């Protein structure tokens, strides 16, 4: 397959400073609503990038579960590679690749672990199967085979039978507190629009970047 021949033209109305809210959270909210209205599959899926203790970049998809002025939150296993990374270096990047809408949003910021109370509130909304999975999986650890995982799942299912499943201490969340946002809108001729917000003390500076 010759990938060099695959070429899409990005015909969109573009993104100008006058289209933007002065507040990047409001701007994100506006785009998020448009992406949702377009029935984009999993609009809250975002690429979370971290740095390993050895300095390697690592990226994976996680689901955004809340966002507001305080930051962007997701949930995970607190012993996973990503959690280890964030405990070593709090700096993280989030990318929303809304490609069919010719859009991308990138956010960078420092992460903070959510409190036990915040994790408990979300834990209670999770389906029972996901709760069992959280007990059964030591996320990111090497396992011998699928059978081993299925046995662990069955074991936890039986252990919790007839009981409310409590949140494991190794399961919780992180909030990324944004320092910078970039809103990217695809345009023809690869001459895209890139508008960037940078936090300057308690305000946001908006700048246009060259495509």
Ligand X SMILES: Cc1cc2nc3c(=O)[nH]c(=O)nc-3n(C[C@H](O)[C@H](O)[C@H](O)COP(=O)(O)O)c2cc1C
- Write the DSSP symbol of residue 5: G
Least distance from ligand X to the Cβ atom of residue 203, Å:
31
User: Rounded to whole angstroms, what are the CA distances from 198 to 24, 25, 102, 139?
Assistant: 9, 12, 23, 34
Q: What backbone phi and psi angles, to 5 degrees, belong to 18? A: -70, -15
Options 58, 128, 190, 208, the catalytic residue = 190
Least distance from ligand X to the Cβ atom of residue 47, Å:
9
Mark whether 190 is an active-site residue.
yes
Q: What backbone phi and psi angles, to 5 degrees, belong to 129? A: -60, -40
Least distance from ligand X to the Cβ atom of residue 151, Å:
20
Residues that bind ligand X (CB under 6 A): 42, 45, 58, 60-63, 74-77, 80-82, 139-140
d(CA 86, CA 174): 9
Nearest alpha-carbon partner for 178 in 106, 116, 83, 81: 106
Question: Would you please indicate which residues are annotated as catalytic (active-site) residues?
Answer: 190
């Amino acid at each position: 397959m010759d990938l060099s021949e695959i070429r899409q033209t990005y015909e969109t109305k573009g993104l100008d400073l006058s289209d933007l809210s002065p507040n990047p959270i409001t701007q994100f909210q506006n785009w998020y609503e448009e992406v949702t209205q377009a029935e984009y599959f999993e609009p809250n899926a975002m690429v979370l990038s971290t740095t390993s203790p050895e300095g390697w970049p690592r990226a994976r998809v996680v689901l955004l579960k809340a966002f507001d002025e305080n930051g962007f939150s997701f949930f995970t296993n607190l012993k996973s590679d990503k959690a280890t990374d964030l405990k070593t270096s709090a700096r993280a990047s989030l990318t929303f690749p809304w490609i069919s809408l010719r859009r991308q949003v990138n956010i960078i910021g420092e992460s903070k672990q959510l409190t036990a109370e915040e994790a408990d509130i979300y834990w209670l909304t999770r389906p029972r199967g996901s709760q069992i999975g959280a007990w059964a999986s030591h996320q990111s650890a090497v396992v011998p085979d699928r059978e081993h995982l299925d046995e662990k799942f069955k074991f936890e299912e039986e252990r919790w039978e007839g009981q409310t499943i409590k949140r494991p201490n190794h399961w919780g969340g992180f909030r990324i507190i944004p320092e910078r946002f970039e809103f990217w809108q695809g345009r023809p001729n690869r001459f895209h629009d890139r508008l960037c917000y940078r936090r300057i003390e308690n305000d946001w500076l908006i700048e246009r970047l060259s495509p």
